[in-house]
Structure formats: C-alpha cells, structure tokens
Amino acid sequence: MRWLSDEAVARLRLAGDRPDLTGTRYTIREELGRGGMGTVYLADDSILQRPVALKVLSAEGSDGTSAERLLQEARVMAQLEHPGLVPVHDAGTLPDGRVFYAMKLVRGQRLDRYASGQPSLADRLAVFRKVCDAVAFAHARGVVHRDLKPQNVMVGAFGEVLVLDWGVARRAEDPPEPGGTILGTLGYMSPEQARGDVERVDARADVFALGKILRGLLTTPPAGASKALSAVADRATSGAPEARYPSAGELSAEIGRFLDGDVPLAHREGLSERAARFLRRYRVPILLILAYLVMRSLLILLLHR
C-alpha cells in the first residue's frame, strides 16, 4: 500500500475545501489567506467586472453557529460605512451550502510590516490616528471590535488605513456571551477579556488593544519615542478599564496633541522637557533672534574699534 505524502494530503484538503461557485457571479483566482472561521479568496465579479475578496466559511466548520457568526461579521461591516472600514458588497449561501460574503479587495501591507519599513515616527502616528478614528466610528455605533492587533490593520500605498476582521465584534444590542468566554488575541486582549469577564468588555477593551498597538509602533523598530508618548501608551493599557482613555477618540486626540507640539494630558512634563519642547516649537524665531543679536554685537564692536 502506498501512502500519500503530507504535501499530497494538503493539496487534497485544499481541493476539498474549495467552494462551489457554480451559477454565481464569482470566479476564484487564488487563495489569499485562512482564518479560524473561513478562507478568503481573490475572486472576479463577472457582473461588476472587478476583483473582490470573497470570504467563505470553511468546509470543516459549516455548522449553524459558524454560519451565523460569519453572516454577523458581514452585517457588522455592512452597517459601518467609513473610509477606514472595508465595505461589504454581497452575502449569501453558495450552492454547496456554505455561507459567504464579498467585500472590497484590500491592497497594502499589514500594520506590523508597514512599521518594519521604518517610516518616520510622525507617519506612524498619523496611521495610528486613522486606526483610532475608524474604531471610534464603530464605537459611536455601538460596535466593539474585541480583536484589534497589527495583523488586522492594512495600510495602503497612498496612506489609506483599513481595520479588518470583525468576526468577534459585538454590537450593543447583542446578548453577551456566557461568563468565562475568552475572545481576542493574547498580547492584545485586555485583562477583562483574558478573564472572560464578558460583562465588563466594552469600548475600553479596544482602547487597551490600541495602546498595545501604539507601544509596538514606538518600539519595533525603535522610533525615538518620547516620555510623553510612553505615558499615553501606559494610560491606554492600564489594567483597570476606568483608568484608561474612555474612548478611542480621546486616545487619538492625545496623539494629535503630541503631533501639534503640545503635551498629552497623560504626561506630566518636567522643566527640562518643557524647555526642550519650547526650543523645538519656536526653533526658527529663536535662531533668527540669536542671529540678529550676534550681528548687532558684531556691528557694535566694529563701530567702536
């Protein structure tokens, strides 16, 4: 008896998981990625004649609960119309019984890979503010992401930023999961998420994850971040929800203060820091005044020789 190689078994598994698109408007080009709930394919939409990303429930997970969760993800994304969120074009059930949805094809780099390219600190912070703004928009509509991490943020070639993967998001009207349910990603989930304290998981859990993302943008690779930015990250990632920023919008505003040359509210500025910030902010007029004083002193010396 000949046994199939691991590679052959993997190919057969992929072939068996490939969705049946017979009679639909979509044709698969290639697989883009796999997650815990489904597979994303690059597909062509024959009606609108454009490429789309097609997320299809995995064959192994085609039960009622998984199907409903995938549709719930599509509904959440469809209700959040914002430049920082991926628009959903279509959803339904394929001939093989699997649930799917079609969304805009996102091109770009994951946030962690973007950061590894060593853009300037100002550029990183500008991208981070766009992430905060998209999350704040979702919060304003009663949706908490619950799984924010660099892998779920895409940065486009022209600075566009998209927050992805709303598979475990929760709407305000949804009933909470049973106590002890743990959702999220280790390293980014808040302490209340890690404890399964579902009643306390709200917008401030997303603020915690954003603080973790911010800390990563400041340290990988080293960005020469100031004490002020470290203080912002510290407050965002506080263990107690009530000690964090109450919203993603306020976290974004803190970064805005820093970029404008002001002091974030989370940071107590020392005298030397205040002097250094004053010199940075008014460097040009200070240099002009110094140049004027030097020239005036030279003229006086020349006239009195």
* Predicted confidence band of residue 11 (pLDDT cuts 50, 70, 90): very low
Residue ending a domain, among 53, 72, 104, is 104
pLDDT tens digit string along 36-64?
Answer: 778 999 999 999 999 999 999 987 655 67
Decide if pLDDT at 2 tops 90. no
* Predicted confidence band of residue 1 (pLDDT cuts 50, 70, 90): very low
Q: Which of 45, 147, 165, 206 is catalytic?
A: 147
What is the pLDDT at residue 288?
72
pLDDT tens digit string along 117-127?
Answer: 989 999 999 99
Long-range (24+ apart) CB contacts under 8 A made by 249-254 are 249/132, 249/133, 249/136, 249/139, 251/132, 251/207, 251/210, 251/211, 251/214, 252/129, 252/132, 252/133, 252/136
Across 14-28, 271-285, 286-300, which has the greatest mean pLDDT? 14-28
* Annotated catalytic residue 147: yes
What is the pLDDT at residue 12?
38
In a domain, 91, yes or no: yes
Residue 144, both tokens: 């908490």
In a domain, 210, yes or no: yes
- Same domain as 238, residue 192: yes
- Same domain as 61, residue 113: no
Averaged pLDDT for residues 263-276: 69
Number of domains in the chain: 3
Q: What is the value of pTM for the model shown? A: 0.82
What is the pLDDT at residue 55?
96
Decide if pLDDT at 198 tops 70. yes
What is the pLDDT at residue 219?
84
In a domain, 266, yes or no: no
- Same domain as 213, residue 118: yes
What is the pLDDT at residue 239?
96
- Same domain as 209, residue 82: no
Q: What is the mean pLDDT of the chain?
A: 87
- Same domain as 215, residue 137: yes
- Same domain as 123, residue 83: no
Residue ending a domain, among 87, 104, 121, is 104
Phi, psi of 92 (to 5 degrees): 165, -155
- Rounded to an integer, what distance in angstroms lies between the CA atom of residue 236 and that of residue 188? 12
In a domain, 13, yes or no: no
Residue ending a domain, among 86, 104, 122, is 104
In a domain, 3, yes or no: no
**Domain interval for residue 226:** 109-259
- Same domain as 176, residue 48: no
In a domain, 16, yes or no: no
Sign of the dihedral defined by the CA atoms of residues 242, 248, 254, 257, in that order:
negative
pLDDT tens digit string along 72-88?
Answer: 999 999 999 999 999 99
- Rounded to an integer, what distance in angstroms lies between the CA atom of residue 189 and that of residue 202? 12
Averaged pLDDT for residues 275-281: 57
What is the pLDDT at residue 297?
75
Averaged pLDDT for residues 100-124: 93
Averaged pLDDT for residues 80-107: 94
